[in-house]
Structure 1
């Protein structure tokens, strides 16, 4: 609520800023809050790093299933659970208190659902790579902290990326973190070309999953079991 009032004050002083009106800005505020759980904006959500430290990853690596796809399936279940319990209730409260944008076009809802799902996959792809770093380093807390800062700043959680000036705005919009918050929110608000936005998210999802698969192969040869 405090963040919503900050954005209201900003848009009252600068109407039409970044192509949003006040209702758009407040809606973006509550959408970004709703994405925190499913997109795991603050990092974590995967047990992989802990399983490397405990030695349990040795069991994971000999299972007749892809470690990456198994982890993805588990993470999608986590995201769905948090969407229901962490995302919907505060958004409903925000709608009751402020009045949020509610799309009337079914295509907007479909594109948002697709963008949301792709955002979860992009988030997983990035967090999986961060978790795999535990195969090379003993303590991954520093990497996790750096990931948190990058994700929080470049996803659109601090402010809509449309407000970032010049080259910083261009860079922020092109990085994978924007696919987690900014792009799904803009699809909900009808502020982006649907095919372009979904294509951008899909490209990053494929790139991160492919890189994750390669790093998993390397980890099989490098991992040192620290416990167990």
Structure 2
């Protein structure tokens, strides 16, 4: 580890003069921070588009009187509608409506579960970064301080001008680790709330599709 002058005590200067292990840790933490912000923008766009489609589908579902009036739905609601029609066609007109409704509920529940997993996909890495990044930064700090003590022993001096640069480089790893972990935790919690709202909307859509399909079945059996 080389001695630093005061003008070199900048984040970039400390990085260039840090130990190779500390440099690698800093690069890993910066990459983790980039991943966190990438997930935020990617999932933000994805969830916003899904929210718009789901909102439009819910408006149509609330106003619909039957499955035939729901052509052109998009997203998860369209898959729920397709499953409802498939189950009704497969069951035919002779099977009891109660059994058809139970099978419809099962089909729709599986779609809701799949869409919920899809909405949450990619957010787990944020939890990992938020939990691990501080410890990775702490490891870099411990390693850097250990090297600083070795330098003190080799130089046989405790002059602050000699010791401070190495300690500053070590503490930089902790700062970068916290800088990667804190946004990751905040983004994870924010996306978690959005995903929870998305799941609630999917449950509403599933309930409405089931209600409309049940109404059609009751009408058909009443007419028969």
More helix by share: 2
Structure with bigger RCO (C-alpha 8 Å, 6+ apart) = 2
TM-score by length of 1: 0.29
